[in-house]
Structure 1
């Protein structure tokens, strides 16, 4: 609950923008405002207060960074003994800030990348190339000072500027005094872009070669911090004006499941299939535009007794299905997937959900008076285990799910 005097008009507009994008809900009551964040976690900096949104079920800070790095395809950060990833009352903002700090410190130790930068300056001696037009029009032929154009190797390039801007933003979000002090110390080693928006535009057009490939991981964490509250790329949403760092846990879980299922399929001779275009399940003839059903992952697996390949739909659910039964809406959704993609003789589908404390596997059998409608395999992934252990468990389960 938030009091009416805790939110400014600008805060109200920010929260309404987040509500429009499904990140949270804001309802007015007699005593103030009721804020509900659903599955979005992190920290949100408003004009008068700082909101910490805790997760539905806690994941230790070190584990969250491992799963986040696994979903993004980025190297895992240093272990907890070298860098404290403890989850505190202020959410997960410090975690990404510390990951960015670690990468920037490593880049500074190795030496920041330099590239040729064109400059125009007024010098007492000739350096580079003389700007004849400027010399004649501004100095009227005098030679005590020379207008020159130089082309020198400097660190003031786009790859470094985006990191300098991200470090500056991270200082405003971090809460641990030691982390803030270390961020302040390293920020001076990096040039800064004019604005965070300019840095984001630079990141969007960045292409990695052998010259700057070592910057990829640092840019990954910088992008999360600069985008701030929402869900584009993986965890952010364009057009968001709220300051802070909000992680959309369902989007993170979908990315994790997508990589787990893909690696499991490759191990058994399979691959993923796009679910858009001709492979999507579409609904036509209703009022409004055409709608579609698309599973998070669609696997193509080799058949055991025939050369014909079979499809297996997999859907990620960020829900505690280790404690509660599968919701009727999810059962209907998975039955639609199984009817659209799997053989009519044995329709199947898979739900993958987080399961802190251990892996789990159960099978739901859906029957009707006319016979079986299909089966739904419910797989629980231990979020306290390393991603590589979870991937190995998924690979061992896929043969039992396949037919």
Structure 2
């Protein structure tokens, strides 16, 4: 059945007050766990509690209320699923194209995306594979289990313990989706969506627990036999993990029992794909920014620390075999409204000094800019010499991701 608990709705970076009797002891434990992960802030207020959201959107079903955090700052609600699908390298579900941010919410959108892919699989026919079964049969079918026959039937031959392989739909690929559909059903607020989820879930086998389904997902290898399951598994992973690109609250086995998406992690994934596709036509490619190519700090107290940009691009140089490195950092900040912070300038200068030529140090910041594209260049210097150039690129998050990618190809230095 759809969730009927009263809702507390707020946008990212907004706050709301809750009465003391709206939160149970278990709710407080959940919210404090979310606070420890930087998703929100919970403080005491005169009438109870004050809840402030961070750069996290989604839903957390609590015992007495349902907490809904809507996208507000950078990506409008009607575009969120398009950008999420772009970051995950999957197709945009049909449900996302006709969604408005008012009644449904992020959880219903992801549930709709999973439902759409599962309905498609049902129309095409679920994948079946040979599954080994042990059963008691009146005739020999498959191979006789001699040990079981001798110890359990004591020489009687009217019933035979046999081992046989049957083609069944009760396989890992389908059990993952059956478990994810049940998880989506527990988060749904729309009666029609809940009914469809329930009907489709009945057609899939279940693995028992989300943990078992997640373990099966980690072991899944895609071949031509199950490649059509990849999109459905992508949405299932979000629901089962309860998060997004960074899978919030899965470390140490803790879960909030909801569906949350960290917007900075989403933005990093978006920028990673935008930059990769922008330089590919010119022979560029991403390279690792850790290990041998990482910037390290040694000799201080404690373990060695590292500086690692969100992305490091290898770009072809003027020579035949020459390549230059370009550090790119994704910043989920309002750099369309105020200047780049001193901390980020210091960070990008470190990247440019570590990766780019001494005579032309440069780095790139990519930030969301709702409603338009923007490009500006920061010249950082001292009385003795220039220290570096930082290109600041603003991506229009109101536009389709493909349009943003075309602009990125022309703007990336």
TM-score range for the pair, normalised by the shorter chain length: over 0.9
In structure 1, C-alpha distance between the alignment counterparts of 2:357 and 2:161, rounded to whole Å: 76
> Could you tell me which residue of structure 2 aligns to residue 247 of structure 1?
261
1:43–1:52 contact (8 Å) kept in structure 2:
yes
Q: TM-score, structure 2 length as denominator?
A: 0.90
- For 2:32 and 2:235, the matched residues in 1 are separated by 26
Backbone CA RMSD of aligned residues: 2.1
Do the aligned partners of 1:18 and 1:230 also contact (CA within 8 Å) in 2? no
The change in CA–CA distance for 1:79 and 1:120 in structure 2 (over 3 A counts) is: closer
2-structure distance, mates of 1:137, 1:310: 72
Q: 1:69 aligns with which of 74, 85, 91?
A: 85
- Between the two proteins, the alignment pairs up a number of residues equal to 396
Distance 2:30 2:77 in 1: 27
2:210/2:240 contact within 8 Å kept: yes
Which stretches in structure 1 are left out of the alignment for 5+ residues? none
Structure-to-structure mapping, 1:233-244, within 5 angstroms: 237-238=250-251, 239-244=253-258
Out of 47, 50, 56, the position equivalent to 2:66 is 50
Check conservation: 1:230, 1:236, Cα contact below 8 A: no
Post-superposition Cα deviations, 1:237-280, rounded to whole Å, max 9, x if no partner, equal 33332111000111111011011111112222222221102221
Contact 2:74 2:369 in 1 (8 A): no
Matches of 2:117 and 2:151, distance apart in 1? 48
Bigger CA drift: 35-44 or 158-167? 35-44
The answer as to 2:175 corresponding to 1:168 is no
- Tell which deviates more after alignment, 136-145 or 334-343: 136-145
C-alpha contact 1:44 1:52 (8 A) present in aligned 2: yes
- Once the two structures are TM-superposed, the CA of residue 348 in structure 1 deviates from its matched residue by 1.3
- For residues 4-403 of structure 1, the aligned pairs below 5 Å read 4-57=20-73, 59-78=75-94, 84-89=98-103, 91-229=105-243, 232=246, 237-238=250-251, 239-304=253-318, 308-398=322-412, 401=413
Preserved CA contact (<8 Å) 1:164 1:191 = yes
CA distance in 2, matches of 1:77, 1:236: 25
Q: Are the counterparts in 2 of residues 59 and 383 from structure 1 also a CA contact under 8 Å? A: yes
Equivalent pair of 2:244/2:266 in contact (CA under 8 Å): no
Q: Distance in 1 between matches of 2:243 and 2:48?
A: 23
Q: By how many angstroms is 1:372 displaced? A: 2.5
